[in-house]
Chain A
């Protein structure tokens, strides 16, 4: 583990350096234009300093994004306005709640369907090819339609976004869970038969425990998909609340720093959600003795 810290840090530092360098190149034109208009000539250090501190840069630099992130989260929380409309905590919470609600329903339904598929051959043969095929389809494209249709029947706010999240996390969980429930080999199933175990006992004592590694892999994919679903679901609602809405308003008004900070907030959210699942996975698998 320690062995990879130095390489990772090197790569991260290299990305930062490239980023700052790219910001100079991409923001220079605006800086020069402003300078010509003001009839001053910029020296190179001045030019660089300017490209790193513009208000609406083409490419904001990391410290600008970081300070915007802090300004809209930590600083607002300190002032006791963590849930004001200008705080990213507020928008992040909107997105997070839709993500989690959708994720719970999507994975729940996915696990149920997987259990049905494993125990019913007709269901397996009918549904499974479609579940696999559906993963090659850009499901995300129907997000705007779901929002508008649910809106026209009077359902607004959290539920439509959660619906998209659930839909996106559903299929990976079905496919992964079916694989997991089928993972016990013939020997193990035969052993349970010699114990004359019933179908239910086989399920609880063999199939379900041995599906756990597959379930967690699927949960991680599903969680990432849920978050993407919630963010995209926020785009067509008129863009009022949520991280997706922040990105959209940012792109309308050219507030690049706002887009980048929303993007990083989404990234941090995704990373911590997936991180939490991996943590649970590691502890659970360790207790179950799956991994040494």
Chain B
């Protein structure tokens, strides 16, 4: 009972604290923008911990955060093996191949308005479909190891990436293209020094969306069969054994990997598209 009271009290206190910070003159500062969400996150963790202890929730339903943290710390070697298998081999390979292929395809069809008019609606349509369903097929074709996971990731990221790149390449106005013409620039010069740089914001938009898709694809594809390592494999087998602390540990790693992946792409974007209004803020 005491734990439940602690949870309520802590919640009320941080709620009041965040309200104070958010409505104080310091609300617009960088410091406040960092501290408020952190306080909220810590509150969620503390309330979770206190409620699980106070209400005696069995660990097979919801383990407390401390147990998850301990599990992460004690099984770093397993987590690392899974991370390499799923993220480095499956997701990253597929991501590079899929995004690279999509950008190359977009440039290839760039000279043909006919193909663009045909491929864009089809690409948009396919991008909205539950492509994850191709996972069982691709696992059959490419075997249980990471190759099939990379293939699922390629299929998942290809179309969003293609649509974004094609739209980005169209993102110059006639003034700019006319200027290139007055310089008597040929097609490739215009492409390399005007249109590709101008397409970068759209391309990076696609690249950022694709980071999440890549990780989801690699993890879910492992539910359909995998060697005895990998994040998806570990999640599905540990769920079966009710080892929920291990499941949460994998999810923690997946969340960190996903955010870091997204963050790295966002940092590269900042360097490449420093000229774009959205980056000047």
Chain A residues at the B interface, C-beta cutoff of 8 Å: 3-4, 6-12, 15, 58, 121-122, 124-130, 133, 135-138, 140-142, 144-145, 148-149, 152-153, 220, 224, 227-228, 231-232, 235-236, 243-244, 247-248, 250-251, 254, 256, 259-260, 262-263, 266-267, 270-271, 274
Contact A140 B244, beta carbon cutoff 8 Å: no
Contact A4 B121, beta carbon cutoff 8 Å: yes
Is B219 close to A, CB under 8 A? yes
Question: From residue B162, how far is it (CB to closest CB) to chain A in Å?
Answer: 12
Q: Known contacts A130-B40, A153-B61: does B219 contact A138 (CB below 8 Å)?
A: yes
Point out the residues of chain B lying under 8 angstroms from A11, CB to CB.
Answer: 115, 118-119, 122
Question: From residue A126, how far is it (CB to closest CB) to chain B in Å?
Answer: 4
Name which residue of chain B comes closest to A263, CB basis.
B133
Q: Known contacts A125-B18, A236-B239, A266-B129: does B223 contact A144 (CB below 8 Å)?
A: yes
Contact A7 B115, beta carbon cutoff 8 Å: yes
Interface 9-mer from B31-39, B95-103, B180-188, B270-278 = B31-39
Q: How far is the CA of A153 from the CA of B32 in the complex (A)?
A: 40
Q: How far is the CA of A186 from the CA of B197 in the complex (A)?
A: 33
Is B179 close to A, CB under 8 A? no
Question: From residue B266, how far is it (CB to closest CB) to chain A in Å?
Answer: 9
24 contacts between A and B (CB under 8 A): A11-B118, A58-B140, A121-B27, A122-B23, A122-B36, A125-B36, A135-B212, A136-B259, A136-B262, A138-B216, A138-B219, A140-B216, A141-B235, A141-B250, A141-B251, A152-B60, A227-B130, A231-B132, A231-B133, A232-B132, A250-B136, A256-B137, A267-B133, A270-B130
Q: How far is the CA of A124 from the CA of B39 in the complex (A)?
A: 13
Contact B235 A145, beta carbon cutoff 8 Å: yes
Name which residue of chain B comes closest to A144, CB basis.
B239
Is B205 close to A, CB under 8 A? no
Is B65 close to A, CB under 8 A? no
Contact B254 A144, beta carbon cutoff 8 Å: no
Q: Known contacts A121-B22, A135-B212: does B118 contact A10 (CB below 8 Å)?
A: yes
Interface-centre pick from A4, A144, A267 (highest chain B CB count, 10 A): A144
Q: Known contacts A8-B122, A228-B130, A236-B223: does B255 contact A137 (CB below 8 Å)?
A: yes
Contact B129 A267, beta carbon cutoff 8 Å: yes
Question: From residue B245, how far is it (CB to closest CB) to chain A in Å?
Answer: 11
Contact B32 A220, beta carbon cutoff 8 Å: no
Q: How far is the CA of A17 from the CA of B130 in the complex (A)?
A: 23
